[in-house]
Amino acid sequence: MTNIEVAHERAKQPNPEQNTRPGRSYPPNVDILETEQGLRLWADLPGVDQSSIDVELVDDVITIRGRVSTGEYESLQPVYTEYNVGNYEARFRLSSTIDGARISAKLANGVLELELPKVAAAKPRKIEIH
Amino acid sequence: MALFRYGRDLDPSNALSRLQQDLERTFDSPFGHGLGLLGRGVHPAINIFKSGEDVVLRIEVPGFAPGDLAITSQGQTLTVSGKPAEQTQASGSYHRRERASGVFSRSIQLPREVDPARAAAQCKNGVLTLRVPAREEIKPRQISITGG
């Protein structure tokens, strides 16, 4: 029984890109909110702890990588599964309105939250009329 | 430096590939006819495992702190429900909204061999793990024989 509105069917499709690491990676489910101050991004990374996450900004592309641990699955035999597990990877191209130097990140309960402040010039500014 | 390795079991980094293959071998009904879950494709997603005689559930609940979750058992039914902590809504517009959020409740009917009343739960990094132990009476035991 469920009484939740799911924004979309949890379409966990592996990332199409090929990579050299073993195992498939998945794009995390993401919310992106734009406010006057900047963007806020939340990415679901269940099973990833703080030491296994990388957020990297190269040029204008921000890359999120999270590694899941397989250790907890030793001695477990699956009998029924609704989700597969895998590492997480997602990339976002930032517009020039974001101030890359002031991006901050935090992780809590398997959710990564990024604060992407806008550069001062990009914020809407009320022009005073004298 | 060896560029090629023979035998995938020699490479511990393949543990993830093996786990992913194992998780793909799933069954429609976890515990045979008439038992199991009330629906696939609903939130949150549940994986069910056997660990010896115990049943282990792993449920993805990103964003939920342990205090936002409640687990109740009644008979062989285990219910997991969640209510996210109140969040102050920032004004703005969403460019993407993919994450499931809000109140949920999911029930699972467990086989008689395990005891939901003695389930133990742990929530870590947005994954809730529930271990439901086997009933003592189903475990094999030695019957002592008295001579007469």
Comparing A31 with A18, which gets the higher pLDDT?
A31
Q: What percent of chain B has pLDDT over 90?
A: 44
Give B-chain residues touching A84 at CB under 8 angstroms.
20, 23-24
Q: For the segment A31-47, what is each residue's pLDDT rounded down to a tens digit?
A: 999 998 999 999 999 99
Q: How many CB pairs under 8 A join A and B?
A: 185
pLDDT of the residue at A17: 57
Q: Is A81 an 8 Å CB contact of chain B?
A: yes
**pLDDT value at B4 more than 60:** no
d(Cα B45, Cα A83) in Å, to the nearest integer?
6
Supply the mean pLDDT for chain B. Answer: 81
**Which residue, among B116, B16, B29, has the nearest Cα to A81 in the 3D structure?**
B29
B83-112 mean pLDDT: 85
Q: Is A72 an 8 Å CB contact of chain B?
A: yes
Per-residue confidence band for B31, with pLDDT thresholds at 50, 70 and 90? low
Give A-chain residues touching B97 at CB under 8 angstroms.
7, 31
**Which residue, among B55, B73, B60, B63, has the nearest Cα to B114 in the 3D structure?**
B55
Give B-chain residues touching A88 at CB under 8 angstroms.
none
- Minimal CA separation from A85 to chain B, in Å: 6
d(Cα B22, Cα B46) in Å, to the nearest integer?
15
Cross-chain Cβ contact B99/A84 below 8 Å: no
pLDDT of the residue at A106: 95
What are the backbone angles phi and psi of residue B15, rounded to the nearest 5°? -55, -35
Q: Is A93 an 8 Å CB contact of chain B?
A: no
Comparing B4 with A100, which gets the higher pLDDT?
A100
Cross-chain Cβ contact B16/A23 below 8 Å: yes
Q: Is A29 an 8 Å CB contact of chain B?
A: yes
Please name every residue paired with A115 in a beta bridge, in sequence order, or none if there are none.
A40, A104
What are the backbone angles phi and psi of residue B34, rounded to the nearest 5°? 85, -5
Question: How many Cα atoms are found within 13 Å in the side-chain-facing hemisphere of A9?
Answer: 5
A83-100 mean pLDDT: 91
ipTM: 0.78
In this structure, the dihedral spanned by the alpha carbons of residues A96, A44, B21 and B32, taken in order and rounded to 10 degrees, is: -150
Give B-chain residues touching A110 at CB under 8 angstroms.
60-63, 125-127
d(Cα A125, Cα A129) in Å, to the nearest integer?
12
Burial class (CB in 10 A: 0-12, 13-18, 19+), A75: exposed
Mutate to test the interface with A, among B16, B68, B101 (most CBs of A within 10 A): B16
Q: Is A11 an 8 Å CB contact of chain B?
A: no
Full 3-state SS string of chain A: CCCCCCCCCCCCCCCCCCCCCCCCEECCCEEEEECCCEEEEEEECCCCCHHHEEEEEECCEEEEEECCCCHHHCCCEEEEECCCCCEEEEEEECCCCECHHHCEEEEECCEEEEEEEECHHHCCCCCCCC
**pLDDT value at A88 more than 50:** yes
Burial class (CB in 10 A: 0-12, 13-18, 19+), B89: exposed
- Minimal CA separation from A101 to chain B, in Å: 22
